[in-house]
């Protein structure tokens, strides 16, 4: 699996014979580089594949689909086979990962969802209808956007339509009847994240018949990348990679 015009994923450290593939789906407005800091913390034998949403990076000219389900169908169809796979989605990516898991030809070993309520507990919102200033204010409130990034008009003009399109997908997401997945689900919450409560996170257990657990960590909405040693150290205890040598966390 490589990044080409036809691909939907970027692999920063491709492995010809990986023992495990961790497939990640970023937040609204996120790019493949969102998870790049994880590379140095992952062990040999684990391949990190990151979804590329339309309108950025190698898919800069690709139009957004009409629904989040249609986006998930793209990724499910492009999902590589033959290697044990774990899906991980953060914020909007949690919903995308859930819908991909619903559609995968080969069932993933686990779904990890972070920073977003489950499909039957979605919060109504209108971020995609706000002005550019309102959209930027929302991004700043989550703690994951540098103010300097949007000081230049060229960058704002390039990024805001893409971010708005992502928010439109998640805010118009209609998941339909809930059919629990036949795989374990782990929900992750950060203690200072305004986007999800512990009660909402625990409701992800309604989306599986194969086991559920909850992991809480300190930090804001983007703690999983701002604290990579801590997060990957915990992840090492969860993934089915006991035979691999995980880097120790300081």
Give per-residue pLDDT as tens, 183-228.
999 999 999 898 899 999 999 999 999 999 999 999 888 888 888 8
Alpha helix locations (H) across 172-227?
198-202, 223-226
Q: Give me the half-sphere count of Cα atoms (radius 13 Å) on the Cβ side of residue 29.
A: 20
**Distance between first and last Cα of the chain:** 32
Q: Which residue has the higher pLDDT, 123 or 25?
A: 25
The residue to which tokens 């593939």 are assigned? 21
Q: What is the pLDDT at residue 115?
A: 94
- pLDDT category of residue 245 using cuts at 50, 70 and 90: very low
Q: What is the pLDDT at residue 209?
A: 96
The tokens describing 49, both together, are 């594949």
**What is the rounded average pLDDT of the residues 12-19?**
80
Q: Is residue 235 pLDDT above 70, yes or no?
A: yes
Q: Is residue 2 pLDDT above 50, yes or no?
A: no
Q: What is the pLDDT at residue 26?
A: 93
Helix count and strand count (H, E) for the chain: 7, 7
Strand 185-190 with 9-11, pairing: unpaired
Tens of pLDDT along 116-175? 999 999 988 888 878 877 777 777 766 655 555 666 677 777 788 888 999 999 999 999
The residue to which tokens 């919102």 are assigned? 125
Residues 6+ positions from 122 with CB-CB distance below 8 Å: 173, 175
Q: Is residue 9 pLDDT above 80, yes or no?
A: yes
The chain-wide mean pLDDT, for the chain, equals 84
Given 31, 33, 37, 91, the catalytic residue: 91
Q: Is residue 241 pLDDT above 60, yes or no?
A: no
**What is the rounded average pLDDT of the residues 90-104?**
95
Q: What is the pLDDT at residue 6?
A: 44
Q: Is residue 27 pLDDT above 80, yes or no?
A: yes
Q: Is residue 18 pLDDT above 80, yes or no?
A: yes
Q: Is 37 marked active-site?
A: no
């Amino acid at each position: 699996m490589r990044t080409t015009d036809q691909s939907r994923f970027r692999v920063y450290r491709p492995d010809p014979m990986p023992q495990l593939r961790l497939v990640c789906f970023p937040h609204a407005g996120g790019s493949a580089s969102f998870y790049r800091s994880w590379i140095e913390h992952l062990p040999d034998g684990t391949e990190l594949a990151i979804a590329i949403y339309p309108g950025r990076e190698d898919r800069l000219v690709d139009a957004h689909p009409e629904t989040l389900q249609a986006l998930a169908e793209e990724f499910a169809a492009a999902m590589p086979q033959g290697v044990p796979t774990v899906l991980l989605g953060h914020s909007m990516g949690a919903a995308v990962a859930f819908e991909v898991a619903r559609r995968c030809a080969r069932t993933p070993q686990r779904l990890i969802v972070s920073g977003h309520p489950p499909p039957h507990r979605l919060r109504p919102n209108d971020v995609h209808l706000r002005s550019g200033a309102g959209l930027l204010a929302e991004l700043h409130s989550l703690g994951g956007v540098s103010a300097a990034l949007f000081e230049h008009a060229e960058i704002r003009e390039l990024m805001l339509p893409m971010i708005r399109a992502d928010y439109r997908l998640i805010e118009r997401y209609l998941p339909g009847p809930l059919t629990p997945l036949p795989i374990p689900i782990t929900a992750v919450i950060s203690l200072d994240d305004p986007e999800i409560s512990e009660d909402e996170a625990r409701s992800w257990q309604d989306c599986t018949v194969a086991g559920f657990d909850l992991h809480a960590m300190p930090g804001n909405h983007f703690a999983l990348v701002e604290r990579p040693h801590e997060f990957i150290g915990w992840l090492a205890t969860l993934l089915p990679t006991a035979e691999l040598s995980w880097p120790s966390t300081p």
